[in-house]
């Protein structure tokens, strides 16, 4: 009875994380489409939501990696999984408020590592897996995406140099609708699996599933629905940063960056390498700016986002460890309830603060700097001809 209560609570928190993952990462799929007006903001978000759900059912390779490659499964107990989720949600909500496109995957992995360190020390963390499957791809992903998107944008720009502007705009916007769909599927297949991996960890920790067991079907369904619901809400603050902050996106850039992102994510997902979709999408958008004739990119903003990426893993690890210790202080069952209450209160405060300068579908494409963004005061990128 005790275990069932804790398990149910942890699964609900995991679904909550999946929901925050959805709205935090909506930008990865739709920001260029919204920024160039290829689709209306609400339409783009609804399309992305439906396709995230489809993507969740395509593959389970990354779920297996999350469940087995980061921490020792034999050392996992339910409070570790809980602490990890709390750390990840807290970091996701904070970065969403500031409009920072940080990695939900790294927040989750960091949270689990922090809670595990608090519980069993460094020996229970598979550092080789952390370096090889998390840190190395985290460095490689944005660089690869940036390079490929820069090449793709340059080639697309040159090949369509003599195309009349209305046909070019029409063609590339149609291409953007296709690529945003593909990217949404890619996000669903890559990110929903991470929560599936965590729920699998919880089931293993509770003894409901043997270590190394396959992810149950109901977990796949629930995680797919949660990420789709989160995507439907639309994380407008981050959509604004990705779509308006780094560069002035044209339909050609939008298409090239989205196609590159979706291919990189789907390929890595297929090979069982859990890349951060945020890192890939951000890298590709920066690359699409580099691929323009004037190389117009706000590098200062990119640098600040890069710092946030570096901080994500340790910050969420600290939150995860604090959640673990806090929960231990009150005892497992009461501790879970108390820590959850603290998290909910924190989320409500952040939500209320965000309403003071509300970003939504109506003003997401406003001129950069008009809404007192965290990175205001940066120079405007040189205007690029569509």
Partner 1 sequence: MTTTTTAVPLFDWHTLGQSTMTSAVISIGVVVLFSIAVYSLSIFRRSDTTVAVRSMSAIVMSTISLIIIATLVWGFYIIVNK
Phi, psi of 207 (to 5 degrees): 80, 10
Strands (E), 17-56: none
Name the token pair of 320. Answer: 């995860």
Q: Contact, 332 vs 78, CB < 8 A?
A: yes
| Cβ nearer to partner 1, comparing 163 with 345 | 163
**Residue numbers of the site for partner 1 (CB under 8 A)?**
58-59, 61, 68-69, 72-75, 120, 123-124, 126, 128-129, 131-133, 136-137, 140, 144, 148-149, 151-153, 155-156, 159-160, 162-164, 167-168, 171-172, 175, 182, 189, 255-256, 259-260, 263-264, 266-273
- Indicate the helix (H) or strand (E) that contains 54: helix 41-56
Q: Contact, 32 vs 249, CB < 8 A?
A: yes
| Cβ nearer to partner 1, comparing 131 with 341 | 131
Residues 6+ apart with CB under 8 A from 245: 99, 298, 301, 368, 373, 375
| Cβ nearer to partner 1, comparing 163 with 214 | 163
| Cβ nearer to partner 1, comparing 160 with 333 | 160
Q: What angle is formed at CA 104 by the lines to CA 87 and CA 280, rounded to 5 degrees?
A: 155
How many other C-beta atoms are found inside a 10 Å radius of the C-beta of residue 17? 30
Q: Contact, 33 vs 361, CB < 8 A?
A: no
| Cβ nearer to partner 1, comparing 47 with 89 | 47
C-alpha of 193 from chain center: 12
| Cβ nearer to partner 1, comparing 13 with 186 | 186
**What is the rounded distance in angstroms from the CA atom of residue 260 to the CA atom of residue 153?**
10
| Cβ nearer to partner 1, comparing 267 with 300 | 267
Nearest-approach distance from CB 34 to partner 1, in angstroms: 20
| Cβ nearer to partner 1, comparing 245 with 274 | 274
- Contacts of residues 301-307 at CB distance under 8 Å and 24 or more positions apart, as own/partner, are 301/241, 301/245, 301/246, 301/375, 301/378, 302/246, 304/374, 304/375, 305/100, 305/101, 305/102, 305/241
**What is the rounded distance in angstroms from the CA atom of residue 15 to the CA atom of residue 4?**
16
Phi, psi of 292 (to 5 degrees): -80, 165
């Amino acid at each position: 009875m005790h275990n069932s209560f804790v398990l149910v609570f942890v699964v609900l928190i995991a679904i909550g994380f999946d929901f925050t993952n959805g709205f935090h990462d909506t930008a990865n799929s739709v920001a260029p489409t919204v920024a160039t007006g290829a689709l209306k903001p609400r339409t783009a978000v609804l399309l992305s939501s439906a396709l995230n759900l489809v993507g969740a059912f395509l593959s389970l390779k990354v779920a297996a990696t999350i469940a087995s490659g980061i921490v020792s499964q034999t050392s996992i107990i339910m409070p570790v999984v809980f602490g990890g989720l709390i750390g990840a949600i807290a970091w996701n909500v904070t970065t969403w408020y500031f409009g920072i496109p940080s990695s939900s995957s790294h927040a989750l992995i960091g949270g689990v590592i922090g809670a595990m360190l608090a519980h069993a020390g460094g020996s229970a963390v598979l550092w080789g897996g952390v370096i090889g499957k998390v840190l190395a791809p985290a460095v490689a992903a944005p660089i690869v995406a940036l390079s490929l998107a820069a090449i793709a944008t340059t080639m697309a720009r040159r090949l369509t140099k003599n195309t009349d502007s209305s046909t070019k705009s029409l063609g590339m916007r149609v291409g953007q609708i296709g690529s945003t769909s593909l990217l949404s599927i890619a996000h669903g297949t890559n990110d929903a699996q991470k929560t599936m991996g965590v729920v699998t960890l919880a089931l293993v920790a509770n003894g409901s599933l043997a270590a190394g067991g396959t992810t149950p079907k109901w977990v796949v369904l629930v995680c797919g629905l949660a990420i789709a619901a989160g995507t439907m809400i639309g994380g407008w603050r981050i959509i604004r940063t990705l779509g308006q902050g780094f560069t002035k996106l044209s339909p050609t850039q939008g298409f090239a960056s989205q196609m590159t992102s979706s291919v990189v994510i789907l390929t890595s997902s297929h090979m069982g390498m859990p890349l951060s979709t945020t890192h890939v999408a951000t890298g590709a958008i920066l690359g699409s700016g580099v691929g323009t004739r004037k190389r117009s990119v706000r590098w200062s903003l990119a640098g600040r986002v890069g710092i946030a990426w570096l901080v994500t893993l340790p910050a969420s690890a600290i939150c995860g460890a604090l959640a673990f210790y806090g929960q231990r202080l009150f005892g497992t069952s009461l501790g879970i309830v108390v820590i959850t209450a603290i998290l909910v209160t924190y989320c409500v405060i952040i939500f209320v603060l965000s309403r003071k300068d509300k970003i939504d579908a109506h003003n997401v494409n406003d001129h950069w700097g008009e809404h007192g963004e965290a990175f205001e005061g940066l120079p405007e990128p040189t205007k690029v001809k569509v």
